[in-house]
Amino acid sequence: PMLKYLLEQSMNDYRIAHKLYWHLRQLLLTETVHFIRYYYLYMALLYIIEDYFRTELETQYDLCINLRKIGLELKSSELDREYLIEQLKILNNEFFQSNQRSCRLPCQFSFITNNIDIKSCTIFSSLTCPVQLVFDPIDLSSKKFSAIYKIGDDLRQDQIILQLLTCMDKIWQSNDIDCRLSLFNVTPTQESCGFIEMISYSETLLEIEKPLGTWKGSFGESALYNWLRLHNTNENDFRMAVENLTYS
């Protein structure tokens, strides 16, 4: 009954079909005990959706294959941003422009892109060499979409935690409790790799504390206070910023 329900909902709402597709995709790569069951569910999903949407999903998967190839080369050879820019130019030309393709993003159903904003892309200095990707919208009135493409971490753990927090936030909100959470999408696309949606206009604790020389992580209270004061000169804005931080 549950599988039938999922398929029925996927037929009625392609946002659900989109999420189910990517969930099944990574299960087919990692699951061994129930592989056959997931495989039949995956094939049933592809059967019930319309041809145009099936093609869209295949295009998304092709994009992920290309990004994974670039990411693995960056990690294995310790290449720099110049190599990333060069490869993204090739990807833009061969994947999007030559074929006149547009593509939904695995991590954001509502966003359709036909170009990567190469100048805004970069590599984070981390062991897994995550890449910040910025996608241009096909609708010029929309904002660009930023995501981290990461290889080497099991993003399923992050995905489950975010799903749990989303459910908890809905319960809290229904009881008039607003914890001011900034929730984001995490979408594993292949084994140990996938997309993490970036929160716009945000900085990490390291970026906040580094200029002050107080690298204490979440315990750097004075650095947080000073940073909030710096960016909220109005007393009411500062009080609201402190309240948001406290609730979250």
SS3 string of 168-195?
HHHHHHHCCCCCCCCCCCEEEEECCEEE
User: CA torsion, points 27, 31, 36, 37, in degrees to nearest 10?
Assistant: -60
Cα separation, 208 vs 31, in Å, equals 40
The hierarchical CATH code for the domain 55-199 is 3.30.1010.10
Q: What is the pLDDT of residue 79?
A: 67
- Entry pTM: 0.83
Cα separation, 208 vs 153, in Å, equals 25
> Hey, how many other C-beta atoms are within 10 angstroms of the C-beta on 24?
20
Strand 186-190, strand 193-197: pairing: antiparallel
Which of 158, 166, 161 lies closest to 188 in space, CA to CA? 158
Domain segments of the chain as ranges: 1-49, 55-199, 203-248
Q: What is the pLDDT of residue 77?
A: 73
Q: What is the pLDDT of residue 75?
A: 80
* pLDDT per residue rounded down to tens, the chain (248 residues): 789 999 999 999 999 999 999 999 989 988 889 999 999 999 999 999 999 999 999 999 999 999 999 998 888 776 678 888 999 999 999 999 887 889 999 999 999 999 999 999 998 877 788 999 999 999 888 899 999 999 988 899 899 999 999 999 999 999 998 888 888 999 999 888 999 999 877 777 777 777 666 555 555 567 778 888 888 888 888 888 888 877 77
Cα separation, 178 vs 16, in Å, equals 26
Which of 124, 114, 127 lies closest to 148 in space, CA to CA? 124
Strand 122-123, strand 145-151: pairing: unpaired
